[in-house]
Amino acid sequence: MPRTVLRACHVSRDYVGVQALDSVSLDVRAGEVLAIVGENGAGKSTLLKILAGVIEPSSGTLQEVDGEGPGHGPERGTDLRLRNTREAREHGIALVHQELNLAENLDVAGSIMLGREPHRLGWMDTAAMRREAAVWLARVGLDVDPTTLCGSLSIARRQQVEFAKALSARARILILDEPTSSLSAHETERLLQIMRELRDAGQAIVFVTHHLNEVLRVADRVVVLRDGCVAGELAGADIKRGRIEELMVGKSFAVPTTRVASAPSVTSDSTRGLTLRRVVSTHRRRAAVDLHVAPGDIVGLAGLVGAGRTELLEAIAGLARCVGEIMLDGSPLMGSVSSRVDAGVAIVPEDRARDGLFLGDPVAVNVSVAWLPRGSRAGIVDRTAEQRMVTMAMERLRMSSAARDRAVQTLSGGNQQKTLFARWLAMKPRLWLLDEPTRGVDIAARHEIHQAIREAAGGGAVVLFASSEMEELEVLADRVVVMHDGSIAGELAGGSIDSASILRLATGGVLA
Amino acid sequence: MNGVKKNLGLIVLLVIICVIAASFGSGFLTAYNAMNLIQRTALFSILGIGAGLVIATGGIDLSIGSIVCLAGIATPWLLVEHGWSPWAAVPAVLAVTALLGVGHGLLVTRLRLQPFLVTLCGLLLYRGVARWMTDDQSQGFRGEFTGLRDIALAKIAIPGIESFRLPATAVPLIVLAVFTGLFLSRTVWGRWLLATGSNESAARHSGIPTARLTTLAYMACAFLAGAGGMLFIFDIGSAQPSDFGNFYELYAIAAAVLGGCSLRGGRVSVVGIILGTAVLQVLRNAIILLGLGSELEFAVIGGVLLIGVSADEVVRRWVPRRG
């Protein structure tokens, strides 16, 4: 049996009036992957932050456990007070953040060795630094030159750099906060494999995720949190999807795993809807894309990270330059982003904190921002109409009205994403461009967002979404367009949408 | 009122400085001094509000002082040396300053130059042009154009009060403050200006024409600096191109920061800027009245600014963040 290395004993934490974590106890064991799951707001992030020394518990303690473990000798726990992440690192605990925080102006080697640069008489030994970085890059299976600038890497690759950084710090306990939230299916696979290898090498791994299929495939033990308490713990063969979901929501919960049939195309008239003719993003010159999406259709864009999905969405939104012809309902879509928004385009970017939300501003301000010109006369905003619009949009997404005056940054990922959707709902867009529409969002919110997307399509809008999650593509899309290296590798529709076919096309293969 | 609550710290600071100045120096609590203070606060607040608008977009304008000089010098130069009519000279000068602002805005948004750099070049450029244009000679109204100068010099009698009369410059300030306040809170463009400063990328993804709004802010700032420069020259009558308006951008930026504008953008308070300006002006006044020696002026202002900003930050961290 793996031995316990870190123990949380009745750990609680309250934020001004809210009990985020209520007397949670758990063991972290070497050579084991421990998954922590739960709805958003269940206390997962709080628990991780306590384990990693980001925050201290209001009550309860952490213990560092020595000794050989049960059956091998006496187990001795010594109380551990982690006042910051540095102290946690000194005890071999490393956190890999969900929100990546690599300095974009450093190269990969510099980022991995940050704060621990090898030096001679105060001069950095760059060669040694790159040599050591290369070792850790190989360990996480990332094939980039150590001198590459972090800012030029995709989010997925930056995450792998973070990983290498944690490993290089000789961490015994790796804490991963939603490690796969920005990875494509292929990269997720590799990450899970790395997690298994590290576990077999004796590392303790704790990770939080919203993807139960990852839990099923890699976790040795699962702790389910609900409302700040441990709702249950499963190990080995007891780890089953249905059981975990029951514990998460406190009742049995039927997840639709098959695609919900959406309304048939409103019309077969090919001038309606979105038409792309020979569209090439000028940023990275690649093969041209031709695509037609009828009103009422939900089309999923699949592909590996870097396949050009985001570039294509940005080209249609006017955020990136492109050549070729983009037509929406028979008229060309061109000009600035704001003119395209006026023409009925809604944009939900991949990185909501960076490109979507005004984090310090209240929800209401975030929701009404794009709508303002419609609710104004001679440029003066009708504040009553604004209040009404915000209330209605929030109600449609089942957001608590108490949230409207709260700063967006204090909300859970699910509610942040709902805020972004609420912004566009009142605009009645004719074209939705969604990049990873439910990234880092809990199950309940994901269902509601999917429902909102289906309703939008039901109302005759065109929906084009990029997703790296097979499950989401299967559940949401009427048709999946798979991209590979900047062009369309193939299309799947209806019953033929399955992860094996998507993966084959995405990796440059052909369907039999 | 929300404005009062947010600016409580500044109000307390202002009262403390006033009490100290009044109890140690004679001459602070006189009608003449009060009128003088209101005049200076009004003039500098106009510059401060312009700076605040640019700071709200996350930018900075270092050229304010040089535009004050250019506009302030060019007005009597056109009127007296070149015999222009006030009806031509005043609109021409204001239009040129607004155009300079548009230039700053375009360089920042289209060419993506750093605001610091663009306006630093402006600072040097406009000062040089003003000095070259006038052969570095002092410019003034030579006792003429008293009607025009009354825009800044007139005093408005207040019924029931004998010796104190309100300086006329308070009127344009109040109009400007009310207009700017409503613009920022009630209009689409104002709200979008703040959104642009709060997160430019998110603003762009929301369909906000961020480049246009940023340019608008630089235009407003330069225009207000031009208008302010004109009022300054009406007030003092004549000035040297080599030193007129020196460091005024720093007073404007300091007032905006004291008044709660975040240099990261997205946050601006018109009432705060006026209070911030008042604090700086009363402080200058107090230094002279207390006989501390005007050499110390910058040191005291720098110190107070540093303490004020630090205290604000400390308070912000200790008061639990609410919603």
Report ipTM (2 d.p.).
0.86
Q: Are residues A242 and A375 in the same domain?
A: no
CA–CA–CA angle B202, B205, B208 (5° rounding): 90
pLDDT of residue A17: 59
Q: Which residues of A touch B320 (CB under 8 A)?
A: 16
The per-residue pLDDT of chain B, averaged, comes to 91
Cβ neighbours of residue A462 under 8 Å, at least 6 residues apart? A273, A274, A293, A294, A295, A296, A297, A299, A328, A430, A431, A432
Q: For a pLDDT cut of 70, what percent of chain B falls above it?
A: 96
Q: How far apart are CA A443 and CA B76, in angstroms?
A: 70
Query: In this structure, are A208 and A349 located in the same domain?
Result: no
Contact A458, A263 (CB under 8 A): yes
- Residue A182: what pLDDT? 67
Highest-confidence range of A144-153, A160-169, B197-206, B293-302, by mean pLDDT? B197-206
Cα(B12)–Cα(B214) distance, rounded to whole angstroms? 34
Same domain membership, residue A61 and residue A177: yes
**B208 touching A, CB under 8 A?**
yes
Of residues A470 and B182, which shows the higher confidence score? B182
Instruction: Calculate mean pLDDT across residues B98-126.
Output: 97
Asked whether residue B60 is domain-assigned, the answer is: yes
As a whole number, mean pLDDT of residues B209-231 equals: 97
**DSSP classification of residue A32:** E
Beta carbons within 10 angstroms of residue A366's beta carbon = 28
CA distance B122 to chain A (A): 29
Nearest to A380 among B186, B199, B202 (CB): B186
Residue ending a domain, choose from A210, A240, A255: A255
Model pLDDT for residues A351-409, shown as the tens digit of each residue: 999 999 999 999 999 999 999 999 999 999 999 999 999 999 999 999 988 889 999 98
- For residue B265, the chain A residues in CB contact (below 8 A) are none
Of A341, A355, A410, the CB nearest to B202: A355
More confident residue, B57 or A260: B57
Domain assignment present for A408: yes
> Is the same domain home to A356 and A218?
no
Instruction: Give B192's contacts in chain A (Cβ within 8 Å).
Output: 369, 372
Which residue in A107, A103, A139 sits closest to A124, CA to CA? A107
Helix, strand, coil percentages, rounded to 5, for chain A: 35, 25, 35
**A290 domain-assigned:** no
**Between A69 and B25, whose confidence is greater?**
B25
- The per-residue pLDDT for A283 is 63
CB-based burial of residue A259 (10 Å sphere; 0-12 exposed, 13-18 middle, 19+ buried)?
middle
Q: How many domains does chain A have?
A: 2
Tally of domains in chain B: 1
Helix, strand, coil percentages for chain B (3-state, nearest 5): 70, 5, 25
Dump the DSSP string for B189-249. HHHHHHHHHH-HHHHHHTT--HHHHHHHHHHHHHHHHHHHHHHHHHHHSEE-TTTTTTTHH
Identify the residue whose tokens are 């906060």: A177
List, for residues A235-262, the tens digit of each pLDDT value.
988 888 888 878 877 754 444 444 444 4
Diameter of chain A measured on Cα atoms:
79
Helix axes B210-236, B64-76, angle to 10 degrees: 50
Smallest Cα distance from B43 to chain A, Å: 28
**Separation CA B204–CA B256 (nearest Å):** 26
Identify from B205, B213, B215, B318 which residue to disrupt to test chain A contact, counting A C-beta atoms within 10 A and taking the largest count. B205
Cβ distance B321 to A407 less than 8 Å, yes or no, reads: yes
Which CATH number belongs to the domain containing residue B312 in this structure?
1.10.3470
Question: A interface mutation test: which of B188, B215, B268 has the most A CBs within 10 A?
Answer: B188
Range of the structural domain that residue A387 is part of? 345-427
Mean pLDDT of B278-288: 90
**If you measure CA to CA, which chain B residue comes closest to A407?**
B323
Containing structural domain, residue B111: 2-22+41-154+166-316
Instruction: Extract the residue ranges of chain A whose pLDDT is less than 70.
Output: 1, 16-18, 40-41, 67-75, 98-102, 155, 181-182, 251-269, 283-286, 305, 512
In a domain, A11, yes or no: yes
In this complex, which of A347, A355, A381 lies closest to B187 when CB atoms are compared?
Answer: A381
Rounded Cα gap, residues A269 and A290, in angstroms? 17
Residues of B in contact with A345 (CB under 8 A): 207
Cα A42 to Cα A18, A158, A224, B200: the distances in Å are 12, 28, 9, 32
The pLDDT, as a whole number, for residue A27 is: 92
Average the pLDDT over B279-289 and give the result.
89
Highest average pLDDT, of B6-15, B178-187, B256-265, B298-307, comes from B178-187
CB contact under 8 A, A369 and B192: yes
Interface of B with A in 182-201 (CB under 8 A): 186-189, 191-192, 195, 198-199, 201
Tokens of A99: 């929100």
Question: How far apart, in whole angstroms, are the C-alpha atoms of residue B29 and residue B37?
Answer: 11
Phi, psi of B109 (to 5 degrees): -90, -40
A233 falls within a domain = yes
Domain ends where: A427, A453, A476?
A427
Q: Do A354 and B192 touch (CB under 8 A)?
A: no
Report yes or no on A2 lying in a domain: yes
CB contact under 8 A, A369 and B195: yes
Interface check B265 vs A, CB under 8 A: no
CATH number of the domain residue A184 falls in = 3.40.50.300
Question: For residue A369, which residues of chain B lie inside 8 Å, CB to CB?
Answer: 191-192, 195, 203, 206, 208
Q: Please report whether residue B54 resides in a domain.
A: yes
Position B56 in a domain: yes
pLDDT at position A32, please?
93
Q: What is the pLDDT of residue A259?
A: 41
Which of A210, A228, A255 is the C-terminal boundary of a domain? A255
A430 contacts in chain B (CB < 8 Å): none
Of B186, B205, B320, nearest to A347 by CB-CB distance is B205
A-to-B residue pairs, Cβ atoms closer than 8 angstroms: 79
pLDDT at B267: 86
A199 close to A33: Cβ distance less than 8 angstroms:
yes
Contact assignment for B202 to A356 by CB distance below 8 Å: yes
Of residues A16, A359, A373, nearest to B188 (C-beta)? A373
Give A151's DSSP letter: G
In angstroms, the CA A419 to CA A413 distance is 10
